[in-house]
A and B are shown apart, each in its own frame.
Chain A
Amino acid sequence: MFFAQFFTNESVTSDLQLHQTIVWVLIFLLVPGAFMLILLFPGFQSAVILSRLGRVPPSRVDDLLAWIAFFLTTYSMVAVGLVTVLAWDALTFDRRDAMVLGSLPLRNRTILGAKLAALATFLAAGSLAISMFNAVMFALTTSDQLGAIVFVTHLFAMLVATTGASVFVFAAIVTVRGGVMLLGRQALAAACGPPLQFLFVVSVLCLVVLSPAIWQVPFVTATFTNWMPPAWFAGVFEQLRGSPRAFDPAFPFMTHTWRAITGTSIAVVGAIAVSVAEFHRQMRAALSPPASPGFLGAAQVSRTLARLLVGRHTSARAIADFILMTLARNRALQAPMAMNAAVGAAIVVAGLSRSVRSVESLMRPRTAVLWIPLVMGYWMAVGLRASFFKPSELPASWSFRANSSGHVVERWLAVRAAMIGFLAPRVLIICALLVPLIGWTLAARHALVVVALVILLVDMMALTIHHTPFTRAYEPGHARLRTRWFLYAMGLYLFAYWPARLDLFILPRPNAWLTFLACSVAVIAGLETAGRRGAHDATDQTDDESLDADRTLTLDIAHVRSGST
């Protein structure tokens, strides 16, 4: 039961879909490691050959091996960290576990053991798949000229180092979550999930994007990297592979290994301790009501903006409020937005790493800088739309059918207003971050262009949403990034890249800038008219459709009930 909780997801509708999702996540995490090793292969091979020919010192090969080990341990930590934060809510005992299991004739030791075993199995399944694959690839890449013994040594050393790194990060995350829960900050612990998911997705993508550019940077002499946990486990690798520098006091590998062992031990003990403490706390609290209402996201700014946009339509205001408050409070809906925002952040980093050579070159308008709010706005909008199709509030959707006036126009207005209310403040904050780079005037002008483009994008997206968000049964095929990536890539060019290029041209020219804004306003007005008209036309049809939907829903429930009795 505890192990199954790690994979519970509202949008997964069958075991087959669940297995497919797990396979896709693993492929997503395995491919970058292999990709990186393929990229590093020529450089390493040439270093080995040149070393044998005496053109470069043998230490060059050792440097490269240490660097690759550092990279792979970093990647393992980030990948396992991502898998772990994806299952954030299931990492510790919760109230529901206590309510269900507390009434059963089970010893505390048994329940606790089951939870810890589930955590260990989850860690083993995630980390071994990634570590084993990368270790095999690494050993194949680095030992073809050095013999079978070196292959086995490299495989073993890398497997231990990356698995150790995985255990450390997993245990550290469990400890942090449990610690926050123990301090009585359940709402805070829950709220940390989506930002951490965002952070780890960005880290994975940035590692892939940036590694070709930074792989030449030496790490063994850097003071900062010596304190980074991946360096500790690179030290473990050096020790286990029998590096000639492993016990040399001139190199920090002994210290690294010691830190790795100590750090991992502390993290594991911490994870077990908080799991035990949290278990006892939840068992005591299971029968008492929650002590405090907890943090309730109110989305005040977004809601105010949405209210201004819908005007006097009270139904539209109600629906917009419902959308924004549900988004602010439901973590299952925040996950796709965090993921998509992370994709946007990785693209931004990739753009900067490719085109910006120095900090000074950032201080003037350029495409890689101007498109930052556009890229982020685009991917946040994609994530927002994807969340609308999650049926998180389906059981209560009768409330709308029984109480709503049924006007599609009001729903369309609400969806549009909620999307703008959600996106506009966020892209404005990102635009504000550009002020130190391009100055107040240009940043303000750019912000207006960005907001106009975001509204345009929302107007187009709102035309594709024909239901009240979160209240319709999941229809497979929506927002599938892996099968429709070309559409999203095209959208990125249309919405972010070319507008940024255009903006680069019009920003220093006030007349051109004003003309662009005027044209944008005209197009927005046109799209809004089309949206309203489309919604008006849809009113009658939708009434019939909703009745059909009711019929289908009722039938399904009838089948379920008859099947269960």
Chain B
Amino acid sequence: MLEVRTLTKHYGGLRAIQDLSFEVRPGEVLGLLGPNGSGKSTTVKILTGLLRPTSGSVHLDGTDVLWNLLSYKASVGYVPEEPHLYSYLTGPEYLQLIGRLRGVADKVLNDKIDRFLHLFGIHDDRYQTLSSYSKGMRQKILIAAALLHNPRIVILDEPFSGLDVSAARVLKAFVRAIAADGKIVVFSSHVLEVVEQVCSRVVILKDGIIVGHDSVATLRATLQLPSLDAVFAALVADENVESVDKRSQDLIAAMKASA
């Protein structure tokens, strides 16, 4: 089980997250929700071992992951929000790089790469460098790279960004399937419909603190709201419908004034 205990992170004087506590069990998909600047990315980076918290800790099976960070990193597969890849490598070359860094044997690795490329429909583009890939193709490479070593924990930060409809459908089913296979899945996204379909529980962040933490169904029942979208709006949004409309009209006025 992955446990987050009173996690706090400050960047100098700026508080990114404060006293976050939650847990994710094997077989669960935990959704991390929140508006821009709510602390989702910071939380994800701490969970992946890329950032060290100011205070608090992350525990895997009761052990602080910082005790053996390398071992913990070896069990994590991570899809970052931004698809920054080594632009001078081809897709298979990048996957080989990641696979070898992860210690996957060459024979197994090449077979896996071939299968991933076929499954994601980018096998025909295998001789092109990543600089010529579209955003969706890069996203597919990132997802493949995160799964190459069959990780125990999968952390997905906006994984549907740029994906075409069929790939997104496959990925949604895949996320549910790997959770059913006993993996720990953390899923950060802005797309509430997808979160509602995929996640068993959600953590809703606002200004670095948790404002909601439960299953989607329980949150809906507790707040007596029809959808996760409504729950999210109730917990996070500062503006009501009228003020949103007014802001929209102000934007149009500003656009016309500048034209």
Contact = CB atoms under 8 A, between A and B. Distances in A.
B52 A403 contact: no
B51 A321 contact: no
- In the complex, which of the residues A290, A396, A404 has the most CB atoms of chain B within 10 Å of its own CB atom? A396
B12 A315 contact: no
Contact of B52 (A293, A314, A393, A547): A547
B74 A405 contact: yes
A211 interface: no
B80 interface: yes
Contacts of B196: none
Nearest to A404: B101
Contacts of B115: none
Nearest to B134: A289
Interface stretch (B125-133, B162-170, B176-184): B125-133
Nearest to B14: A558
Contacts of B97: 318, 321-322, 399
Given A405-B74, A558-B11, A558-B14, A399 B85 contact: yes
Interface string B125-154: 001110010000000000001000000000
Given A290-B132, A554-B51, A405 B89 contact: no
Contact of B45 (A290, A399, A406, A554): A554
Contacts of A558: 11, 14
B103 A405 contact: yes
Contacts of B86: 322, 326, 393, 396, 399
A404 B99 CA distance: 10
B189 interface: no
Given A330-B88, A405-B74, A293 B129 contact: yes
Contacts of A289: 132
B93 interface: yes
Interface string A303-334: 00000000000110111011001100110000
A398 interface: yes
Contacts of B173: none
Interface in B1-51: 11-12, 14, 42, 45, 48-51
A293 B88 CA distance: 12
Given A402-B73, A543-B69, A554-B45, A296 B129 contact: yes
B254 interface: no
A558 B45 CA distance: 14
Contact of A325 (B73, B78, B93, B105): B93
Given A325-B88, A326-B88, A398 B132 contact: no
A316 to B, nearest CB: 9
Interface residues of A, number: 34
Contacts of A400: 101
A287 to B, nearest CB: 13
Nearest to A333: B88
Contacts of B101: 314-315, 318-319, 399-400, 403-405
A401 interface: yes
Given A326-B86, A400-B101, A290 B128 contact: yes
A17 to B, nearest CB: 24
B50 A401 contact: yes
Interface in A258-302: 289-290, 293, 296
A290 B42 CA distance: 37
A398 B88 contact: no
Interface in A513-558: 543, 547, 550-551, 554-555, 558
Contacts of A326: 86, 88-89
Contacts of A249: none
Contacts of B145: 399, 403
B100 A329 contact: no
A293 B128 contact: yes
B72 to A, nearest CB: 11
Contacts of A330: 88
A550 B87 CA distance: 21
B118 interface: no
Contacts of A293: 90, 127-129, 132
B50 A296 contact: no
Contacts of B103: 314-315, 405
Contacts of A319: 101
B96 interface: yes
A395 interface: yes
B127 A296 contact: yes
A402 B50 contact: yes
Contacts of B48: 402
Interface of A: 289-290, 293, 296, 314-315, 317-319, 321-322, 325-326, 329-330, 393, 395-396, 398-406, 543, 547, 550-551, 554-555, 558
12 contacts: A314-B104, A321-B100, A322-B97, A396-B87, A399-B101, A399-B145, A400-B101, A402-B73, A405-B103, A543-B70, A547-B52, A550-B45
Given A290-B128, A551-B52, 7 more contacts: A293-B128, A318-B101, A321-B100, A399-B86, A399-B101, A406-B73, A558-B14
